[in-house]
Structure 1
Amino acid sequence: MLDIFCTTTCHYIRDYLQFVHWNLESFSIVDKQRQLYPNVAIQLYLQSQIQLGFVYHRLTLHVIDYEADNIALLDCQQRSAEITEGLYEIENVFGHKFIIPQQQNSGVYVGDIGPPEKRIFRLEHIRYREYRLRHCQSNTILCIYQESLNNEAPLVLNANTNQTLTFESVGNNNSEYYIWPTHQRPTNRRKVLDVYNDPYGRAGQNGAQVQLYSFHGGPNQRFHLRTVDENILVSTHQ
């Protein structure tokens, strides 16, 4: 059994259910007046004429044993943040350096040297709480090289990729995020974006590689998304 606490409209709970196999035993809901509706029929619940403004505070799913992947995926999506689409600079917390592409190849590193437009990304919403980061200057996508899940797999910019990312708030801090690639299996989700930090302190220097690494929650794995005014990008192309 998985309990999900949320405050959302029926429309978004229908989105939640799309991540779970249709072969559910049952599920129940509790509304904001604490009224319990047990064993709600999925077919009834998914009808479009259900009042979209109705707010549910608790969703209880009872699923069969082999749905572990779908439960884990649902849980990952529940913990992922909703981010507003737009332009951002991506700043690593460790040394307050920004993700910047390398000049000589498609790799990326952290730094604070060069024109500001070089470090601007457009956050694109793909599905539910999955996003893509498109580098504005080169029109390429930030992704993990060859979809590797190995430690120290480099991040690169690639024009031909379907990779997406989710953003998880660090505790109650809505300004810092862990960034998770979505191509890892939900039941074995362990790798996040990371800035190379060996020896300790390297992550705070210009030129440190942005890579994939096992989650430990340190400052070199936490990122700020700094909003960029659309007009700034327009002015750089005039």
Structure 2
Amino acid sequence: MLVLAFDTATPAVTAALHDGERVLAEHTTIDARRHGELLAPTVELVLAEARATLRDVTAVVAGSGPGPYTGLRVGLMTAQGLATTLGVPAYGVCTLDALAYGSGLGEPFIAATDARRKEVFWARYADLRTRVEGPFVDRPADVPAEGVPVIGAGADLYRDVLPARGAEAPPYPYAGALAALAAERLAAGVPLDPPRPIYLRRPDAVVPGAPKKVLAPAETRGESKREPA
């Protein structure tokens, strides 16, 4: 088994290789504006560090969000394209699941990432492997976080509202955790989802509607045109 995993649903452009037992290589760059530019070189870097080639890869895994539309689709489209080219399966794993898995927490907690617009994407977990609620998108003040740690960069941005946090928990869903979680599920025979995005909002870009009818001056006053006598 050689799992290539990457995530572009947060500002972390992150990729890793996992051989079914351990992470062989991992690299992450924090840059919310260069997902498309950075992902391919990051994949090449981890392959080189692991002394592997794309032809050695047996499965491709991408973080499926939730996340901003533009960044999220970079990783998912890359996963689908690589899997088709290599003839291997492609899977999607919830980005918040990877964040939770990387926390190492064994008690209930909430994982949160930045959703922009003064909101967070979040989900509730019983432990690092078990999501029990979500994902959702809400204002930080509306996240029901009483009595549980809140981890992730989404929580860090709103520490005045979400004060609890897990010790040493990562701010982002790093690809090493994503790859390890996917490899664990594959080895256990747990079905993985296809690489499809988890969208909790409509995209900002929309198809323009039909142009408004331009009324003649008489029509704008509620008058009708009359033919001259």
What's the TM-score, normalizing by structure 2?
0.23
What's the TM-score, normalizing by structure 1?
0.23
Quick one: higher RCO (CA 8 Å, sep 6+), 1 or 2? 2
The structure with the largest alpha-carbon Rg is 2
Q: Choose between structure 1 and 2: higher strand proportion.
A: 1
